[in-house]
Amino acid sequence: MSQATKIGLIITLAFVLGTCVAGGRTPHELPRGHRYMRESRAAGKALQAGELSAYRDAVIRLNQEFPENSRWLRNRAVIEARLGDRAEALRQVRTYASLGLTLDLKEPWLAPLVEISKEVPELKENSEAITEAEKLFSAPDSGLVIEDIAYDVQQKQYFLSSIRQRKILRCDSDGHCRDFVKSSSELPLGAVLALHADSLHSVLWATTAEMNAEADFKKEQDGQSSVLKLDLHSGRLLKRFEPGDGRKHALGDMTVASNGDAYVCDGLSGDVFLISHADDRLKPLAPAGVFVSPQMPVLSADEKLLYVPDYVGGIAALRLSDRHIEWLSSTRPVALEGIDGMYLYKQCLIAIQNGTMPERITAFHLVSPTRIDKFGVLEANWRGLGDPTHGVVIGDQFYFIANSGWDRVADDGQFTEGDAAQIMKRPLGRIASAPVRVH
């Protein structure tokens, strides 16, 4: 899902949480996700009112409590410059550049940093093209808006999910694709989001949610969402799972354990769910309010930890034995926000970050299960990358979706025609010991 779409969902959630948490509890008593929304709302209100000192205070609090979110580092640099503290603004920009990030200085709100940025040559270095990817095939239609890709190791087939056309395609490695499952009266679908091919259990998992990016969207269905358990070979529906709690949902990204357990994140409600292979029911896995917008989860190699990236809050490690949650830390500054797809390769978390400047694919090296010691940018700044969304690791190769089409979907759902999405292939063999452009 695109950065703009996720931000829209987060703004909606901020309004709801602002109503729900405005009671007597102090910020430190609130769950982490609620604290983030409360502080970001306070920052926004101060800025809108022109109270720049109060805005700086709020940004500093957010930067201190959520240091892996580069947005608040960047915003702090801007407000320090506006308030006349050039030295502090420069210090923040230098730290920001050390994260491998850039600034789009054509944006009017970044004007206070134009002169300061000239003293930080790393910003220009970070805008250079990085890629080792090559095209595997193009999506068959430029109007699909592709969100996810899955791979069936037995049939050696790829599956692609279409947001706009509400269907799943099956493709071979030469790019010959055909409809596998599409919306019908027997199997109504909204936008199809995540996919996971469980070849061992002959199941194709898919998530679907009603949203205005889909064709023929009906506003009265907004917030309806479900998880689909499909036969991997025929596409026949085996079971549909829905939360049933009366709230709006966008059941999205997922992963599946070797025993068939499915873990599903809801980018709208903030929930993380488990569908246990033992009882085949959808159940909450994480307490409400911990996450703002959880994205693609990934299991550790021993399947004892579930890594969950929050689009704004960093990466959490959820211990499945007792559901204890620990947020990943780092030996050096890193940007862990804006992660859409995330995957494990040896000792690295491979993250597709479409919510950072620039949009990029990054390898974060784990020196321990909950600590990062270095990172490398694998793909960034090349023509055609567009809005990357998800991928899949197959052996030592990473297959990912470039130019998904999300950047051609307006906030109101209007779609602009453009080039088709690309399925790209990139080698991963070197990164576990030495990520590209190590930071």
Tens digits of residue pLDDT in 186-203: 999 999 999 999 999 999
Q: Is 434 inside a domain boundary?
A: no
Q: Within this chain, do residues 17 and 70 fall inside the same structural domain, yes or no?
A: yes
How confident is the model at residue 434, as a pLDDT?
A: 47
Q: Within this chain, do residues 183 and 312 fall inside the same structural domain, yes or no?
A: yes
Find the range with the poorest average confidence among 17-31, 235-249, 386-400.
Answer: 17-31
- Residue 21 clears pLDDT 50, i.e. is over it: no
Mean pLDDT calculated for residue range 349-374: 97
16: left (phi over 0), alpha (psi -120 to 50) or beta: alpha
> Residue 341's beta-bridge partner residues?
352
Mean pLDDT calculated for residue range 207-219: 94
Q: Within this chain, do residues 118 and 79 fall inside the same structural domain, yes or no?
A: yes
Task: For residues 93 and 77, give the distance between their C-alpha atoms in angstroms, rounded to a whole number.
Answer: 6
Confidence bin at 5 (pLDDT 50/70/90) = low
Find the range with the poorest average confidence among 22-36, 72-86, 111-125, 146-160.
Answer: 22-36
Mean pLDDT calculated for residue range 249-259: 97
23 phi, psi to nearest 5 deg? -80, -150
How confident is the model at residue 150, as a pLDDT?
A: 98
Q: Within this chain, do residues 175 and 112 fall inside the same structural domain, yes or no?
A: no
- Rg of the chain over CA atoms, in angstroms? 21
How confident is the model at residue 430, as a pLDDT?
A: 76
Q: Is 342 inside a domain boundary?
A: yes
Q: Within this chain, do residues 273 and 303 fall inside the same structural domain, yes or no?
A: yes
Residue 374 · residue 330 · CB < 8 Å: no
The closest alpha carbon to 419, from 410, 434, 435, 407, belongs to: 407
In the predicted model, what is the mean pLDDT of the chain?
92
Residue located via tokens 């101060």: 46
Mean pLDDT calculated for residue range 102-110: 96
Mean pLDDT calculated for residue range 176-187: 95
Residue 338 belongs to a domain with what CATH number? 2.120.10.30
- The tens digit of pLDDT for each residue in 375-392 reads 999 999 999 999 999 999
- The tens digit of pLDDT for each residue in 144-168 reads 999 999 999 999 999 999 999 999 9
Residue 5 · residue 214 · CB < 8 Å: no
Domain boundary among 125, 154, 189: 125
- Residue 404 clears pLDDT 60, i.e. is over it: yes
Q: Within this chain, do residues 290 and 212 fall inside the same structural domain, yes or no?
A: yes
How confident is the model at residue 236, as a pLDDT?
A: 97
Strands 225-231 and 203-209: antiparallel
Environment class of residue 292 by beta-carbon count within 10 Å: exposed (0-12), middle (13-18) or buried (19+)? buried
Amino acid, res. 275: I
Percent of the chain with pLDDT over 90: 90
Amino acid, res. 251: L
Domain that holds residue 62: 3-125
How confident is the model at residue 28, as a pLDDT?
A: 53
Confidence bin at 287 (pLDDT 50/70/90) = confident
Structural domains of the chain, count: 2
Residue 258 · residue 233 · CB < 8 Å: no
Q: Within this chain, do residues 229 and 351 fall inside the same structural domain, yes or no?
A: yes
Domain boundary among 125, 153, 181: 125
Q: Is 337 inside a domain boundary?
A: yes
Strand ranges inside 246-370, DSSP E: 251-256, 262-266, 272-275, 282-284, 298-299, 305-310, 314-319, 324-327, 329-330, 339-345, 348-353, 360-368
Q: Is the backbone peptide bond immediately before 358 cis, with ω within 30 degrees of 0?
A: yes
Mean pLDDT calculated for residue range 51-74: 96
Residue 421 · residue 144 · CB < 8 Å: yes
Residue 396 · residue 348 · CB < 8 Å: no
* pTM given for the model: 0.93
The closest alpha carbon to 253, from 265, 236, 239, 269, belongs to: 265
Calculate the CA dihedral of residues 139, 209, 342, 10 and round it to 10 degrees.
Answer: 120
Q: Is 121 inside a domain boundary?
A: yes
CA distances from 22 to 9, 17, 35, 62, 163 (A): 20, 8, 11, 18, 35
Q: Within this chain, do residues 118 and 146 fall inside the same structural domain, yes or no?
A: no
How confident is the model at residue 410, as a pLDDT?
A: 93
How confident is the model at residue 212, as a pLDDT?
A: 94
Q: Within this chain, do residues 24 and 104 fall inside the same structural domain, yes or no?
A: yes
Give 112's DSSP letter.
G
Domain boundary among 76, 91, 125: 125
Strand order in the sheet with 329-330: 329-330, 371-380, 360-368, 348-353, 339-345
Residue 117 belongs to a domain with what CATH number? 1.25.40
Q: Within this chain, do residues 101 and 29 fall inside the same structural domain, yes or no?
A: yes
Tell me, rounded to whole angstroms, the distance of Cα 240 from its chain centroid.
24
How confident is the model at residue 346, as a pLDDT?
A: 94
Q: Within this chain, do residues 218 and 359 fall inside the same structural domain, yes or no?
A: yes
Q: Within this chain, do residues 203 and 264 fall inside the same structural domain, yes or no?
A: yes
